[in-house]
């Protein structure tokens, strides 16, 4: 294939779906977790679940980088931004994530905090250069995908002597979260769901490669198929997972061969390793404390660590008890299971982080899935009549 439209060919998708239906054993069920918000979005946007047989179920996992940020970190960023000397820079989605008591960075900006939406870390550096009298803090979030740009921004800030630039680091690691879902006693206490295999993330895997998932296949005997974001990528990966389950195999396979290699992007990994080290533990929304599930700046770069530089305190804040975002991120519930969905919680007035980002399960269901659900219900009603 050469052009993107070829990865959206409906006839090919239906052909692959027929292969899945032919291979799916009617005597058993298949439960696969997609660990990427881009996959969740593609599944909803293109109606891929409607093409699958009833015994093949996709489970939305904690693959949205905005969604997994714990509420205490949002509160800490808001408190930092309210300081008069601070200019806080971050990506657009983060500005709308609810903190405690309905607060958000967007609300803080409305009452006077200097918070600026940026498209890249280089935008934040340009602000630091243009306004040397301001303390510019980049609110860094995301998986392994967005970590290299943060490292490169820090590298550039050091090289240019920007003493007014620092990073509030919240970068998290995908393999650790998968392990947490499979073995954490906290997750078992919160509730678990049957998982027969994982659809590995695309952009993350372009950085780290496929090798880091081998422990999932070998240690937990769960197949992993790394997949691209287009609908044919996703449905082909589902077929590959069904084949592995039927064969009794548990291997790491790579559907996204046009962008992902076994060992990933070595240059990006080197930049990450130069500036960051593992945290012993880090809280994920919905998963709790994840051992070695995040990164922090190495001690030699403490002068550029906003948490140290400004003596930031991370409060032990709790999510809205009516919001089911945590259970949705663990795959225990669907967006429509939340009583706030579509009423109190909408993209205009999000109660939970899953409704904020386009990669969030609730946002994807709001944009695409709810209409198909209504159509299914109407069809079922007509059939019953």
Residue 380 has pLDDT above 80, yes or no: no
- Across the chain, mean pLDDT equals 92
Q: What is the C-alpha separation between 306 and 168, in angstroms, rounded? A: 5
Q: For residues 199-217, give the mean pLDDT.
A: 97
Q: For residues 131-145, give the mean pLDDT.
A: 97
Q: Do 260 and 212 touch, CB atoms closer than 8 A?
A: no
Q: For residues 192-217, give the mean pLDDT.
A: 95
Q: pLDDT tens for residues 2-37?
A: 678 889 999 999 999 999 999 999 999 999 999 899
Q: What is the C-alpha separation between 381 and 42, in angstroms, rounded? A: 28
pLDDT on residue 379: 43
pLDDT on residue 374: 54
Q: pLDDT tens for residues 192-201?
A: 688 999 999 9
- Report which of residues 92 and 237 the model is more confident about: 237
Q: What pLDDT band is residue 358 in, cutting at 50, 70 and 90?
A: confident
User: Over the range 50-71, which residues count as b (16 or more CB within 10 Å of their CB) and which as e?
Assistant: ebbbeebbbbbbbbbbbbbbbb
223 is written with which tokens? 């197949």
Residue 330 has pLDDT above 90, yes or no: no
162 is written with which tokens? 């920007």
Q: For residues 307-312, give the mean pLDDT.
A: 96
Q: For residues 205-220, give the mean pLDDT.
A: 97
60 is written with which tokens? 């939305």
77 is written with which tokens? 């960023």
Report the range of poorest mean pLDDT among 125-139, 228-242, 337-351: 337-351
Q: What is the C-alpha separation between 151 and 250, in angstroms, rounded? A: 34
Q: For residues 111-138, give the mean pLDDT.
A: 97
Q: Do 284 and 301 touch, CB atoms closer than 8 A?
A: no
Q: Which residues pair with 198 in a beta bridge?
A: 33, 224
With pLDDT > 90 as the criterion, what percentage of the chain qualifies? 81
Q: What is the C-alpha separation between 128 and 280, in angstroms, rounded? A: 31
160 is written with which tokens? 């240019």
Q: For residues 92-107, give the mean pLDDT.
A: 91
All structural domains of the chain with their residue ranges: 71-172+294-309, 325-370
Q: Does domain 71-172+294-309 have CATH number 3.40.50.11740?
A: yes
Report the range of poorest mean pLDDT among 209-223, 262-276, 339-353: 339-353
Q: What pLDDT band is residue 369 in, cutting at 50, 70 and 90?
A: confident
Q: For residues 134-138, give the mean pLDDT.
A: 98
Residue 161 has pLDDT above 50, yes or no: yes
């Amino acid at each position: 294939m050469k052009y993107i439209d070829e990865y959206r060919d409906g006839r090919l998708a239906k052909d692959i779906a027929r292969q899945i239906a032919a291979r799916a054993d009617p005597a058993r069920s298949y439960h696969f977790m997609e660990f990427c918000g881009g996959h969740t979005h593609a599944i909803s946007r293109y109606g891929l679940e409607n093409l699958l047989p009833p015994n093949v179920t996709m489970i939305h996992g904690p693959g949205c980088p905005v969604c997994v940020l714990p509420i205490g970190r949002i509160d800490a960023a808001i408190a930092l931004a309210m300081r008069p000397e601070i200019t806080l820079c971050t990506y657009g989605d983060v500005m709308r994530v609810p903190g405690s008591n309905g607060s958000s960075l967007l609300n803080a900006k409305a009452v006077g905090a200097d918070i600026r939406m940026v498209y890249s870390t280089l935008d934040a550096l340009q602000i630091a250069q243009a306004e040397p009298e301001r303390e510019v803090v980049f609110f860094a979030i995301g998986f392994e995908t967005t970590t290299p740009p943060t490292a490169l921004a820090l590298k550039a800030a050091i090289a240019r002597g920007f003493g007014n630039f620092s990073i509030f680091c919240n970068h998290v690691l995908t393999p650790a979260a998968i392990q947490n879902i499979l073995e954490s006693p906290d997750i078992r206490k919160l509730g678990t769901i049957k998982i027969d295999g994982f659809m590995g993330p695309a952009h993350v895997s372009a950085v780290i490669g496929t090798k880091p998932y081998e422990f999932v296949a070998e240690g937990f005997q769960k197949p992993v198929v790394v997949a691209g974001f287009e609908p044919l990528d996703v449905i082909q990966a589902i077929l590959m997972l069904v084949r592995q389950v039927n064969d009794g195999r548990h291997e790491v396979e790579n559907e996204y061969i046009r962008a992902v290699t076994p060992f990933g992007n070595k240059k990006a990994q080197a930049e990450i390793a130069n500036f960051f080290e593992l945290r012993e533990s880090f809280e994920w929304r919905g998963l709790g404390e994840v051992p070695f599930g995040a990164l922090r700046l190495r001690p030699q770069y403490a002068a550029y660590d906003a948490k140290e530089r400004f003596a930031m305190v991370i409060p032990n804040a709790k999510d809205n008890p009516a919001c089911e975002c945590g259970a949705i991120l663990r795959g225990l519930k669907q967006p429509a299971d939340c009583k706030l969905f579509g009423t109190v919680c909408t993209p205009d007035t999000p109660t939970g982080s899953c409704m904020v980002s386009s990669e969030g399960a609730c946002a994807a269901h709001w944009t695409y899935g709810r209409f198909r659900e209504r159509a299914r219900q109407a069809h079922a009603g007509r059939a019953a009549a």
